[in-house]
Amino acid sequence: MNYLWHILVMISIYAILAASLNLVTGYSGLLSLCHAAFYGIGAYVTTLLMMRAGFGFLPAMALGAALTALISLAIAIPSLRLRGDYFVLATLGFQVIIFGVLYNWVSLTQGPYGIPGIPIPVILGIPVDTVFRYALLSGALAVACLVMIRAVARSPFGRLLRAVRDDEIAAAALGKNVPRIKITVFALGAAFAAVPGALFAGYMRFIDPTSFTLAEAIFILSIVVIGGAGSLAGPVLGAAFMVLLPEALRFLQMPDAVAANMRQIIYGLLLVVLMRFRPQGFLGKYGFE
């Protein structure tokens, strides 16, 4: 049974990651390769606030989200003047820098050794100390985040994002401050990405920089693309699919060494086939130009 709850925790984490990236990439058309950096910043800030400042899990997470949004401005403000491909490269650079900081700022992050012994989250006096309880916590946070992201997407702000995505010159000519809109959605996406970071840290009770690499950022982006950019249910379906796929392979009785490689091959093939025949993903409305 614990196995199923574990899968639910992982799906919740990736669903929030994909849904928050979807605000940035799907709705606003800003292809970003640094979402794992925000995920990692959320995880480290929450962990450090809990372990060094004695914060509870939820306040640490909330503060982590706010700080992650603030740090996202450091990339957003200089990079949003860049167009298209150059913006993507800037986010890639930021991802690499954050990984480098987490890896090398040993006095704060313990670098490659990682941080063990992260305390068990306690919510309303109840320790979340079983996988079942953790599945409830992460499921509840995922639902809360998805409801909020849906509210944003369906609001006039969400409409504005889609307008900027369609034609930013026309949006500016209608009096819309396009750079400010992009910076806002980037910060919002970063804040939401910090939540699964906190969940991951509290669940594993150990974090190190290898969970927050460029490969992870690409993985999150591929969930958005496969699920369907610009749709509300797409990222959830994509997350479920991408988490369940390796689990399904496990039941094929494949040796572990083969399964890991098999998984990479299947992911790759899937992306190629999807881009050829259904560029908008399973549930998405728009393809990538």
CB proximity list for 285: less than 8 A, separation 6 or greater: 228, 230, 231
How far is it, in rounded angstroms, from Cα 36 to Cα 60?
19
What minimum distance in Å lies between the beta carbon of 11 and another protein? 24
Q: CB under 8 A: which stretch of 135-143, 182-190, 251-259, 269-277 binds another protein?
A: 182-190
Based on the shown chain and the rule CB under 8 A, indicate whether residue 188 belongs to the binding site for another protein: yes
Based on the shown chain and the rule CB under 8 A, indicate whether residue 265 belongs to the binding site for another protein: no
**Binding residues for another protein restricted to 87-116, rule: CB under 8 A:** none
Based on the shown chain and the rule CB under 8 A, indicate whether residue 197 belongs to the binding site for another protein: no
Tell me how many residues contact another protein (CB under 8 A). 29
What minimum distance in Å lies between the beta carbon of 144 and another protein? 12
**Binding residues for another protein restricted to 216-235, rule: CB under 8 A:** none
Contact string (CB under 8 A) for another protein, positions 113-152, x = contact? -----------------------------------x--xx
Cβ(209)–Cβ(40) below 8 Å:
yes
Residue 204 neighbours by CB distance under 10 Å: 15
Pick between residue 169 and residue 215 the one whose CB is nearest to another protein.
169
Based on the shown chain and the rule CB under 8 A, indicate whether residue 1 belongs to the binding site for another protein: no
List 54, 117, 125, 175, residue binding another protein (CB under 8 A): 175
Pick between residue 92 and residue 152 the one whose CB is nearest to another protein.
152
Based on the shown chain and the rule CB under 8 A, indicate whether residue 158 belongs to the binding site for another protein: yes
Based on the shown chain and the rule CB under 8 A, indicate whether residue 163 belongs to the binding site for another protein: yes
List 155, 210, 261, 264, residue binding another protein (CB under 8 A): 155
Pick between residue 278 and residue 285 the one whose CB is nearest to another protein.
285
- Opening angle at CA 125, ends 124 and 128, nearest 5: 90
List 25, 47, 184, 213, residue binding another protein (CB under 8 A): 184
DSSP the chain: -HHHHHHHHHHHHHHHHHHHHHIIIIIT----S-HHHHHHHHHHHHHHHHHHS---HHHHHHHHHHHHHHHHHHHHHHHTTS-THHHHHHHHHHHHHHHHHHHH-HHHH-GGG-EE-PPPPEETTEE--SHHHHHHHHHHHHHHHHHHHHHHHHSHHHHHHHHHHH-HHHHHHTT--HHHHHHHHHHHHHHHHHHHHHHHHHHHSEE-GGGSSHHHHHHHHHHHHHH-TT-SSHHHHHHHHHHHHHHHHHTTT--HHHHHHHHHHHHHHHHHHHHHH-TTTTT-S----
How far is it, in rounded angstroms, from Cα 132 to Cα 250?
22
Based on the shown chain and the rule CB under 8 A, indicate whether residue 162 belongs to the binding site for another protein: yes
Based on the shown chain and the rule CB under 8 A, indicate whether residue 205 belongs to the binding site for another protein: no
Based on the shown chain and the rule CB under 8 A, indicate whether residue 167 belongs to the binding site for another protein: yes
Based on the shown chain and the rule CB under 8 A, indicate whether residue 185 belongs to the binding site for another protein: yes
Pick between residue 27 and residue 134 the one whose CB is nearest to another protein.
27
Q: Contact residues for another protein (CB under 8 A)?
A: 148, 151-152, 155-160, 162-163, 165-167, 169-178, 184-185, 188, 285-286
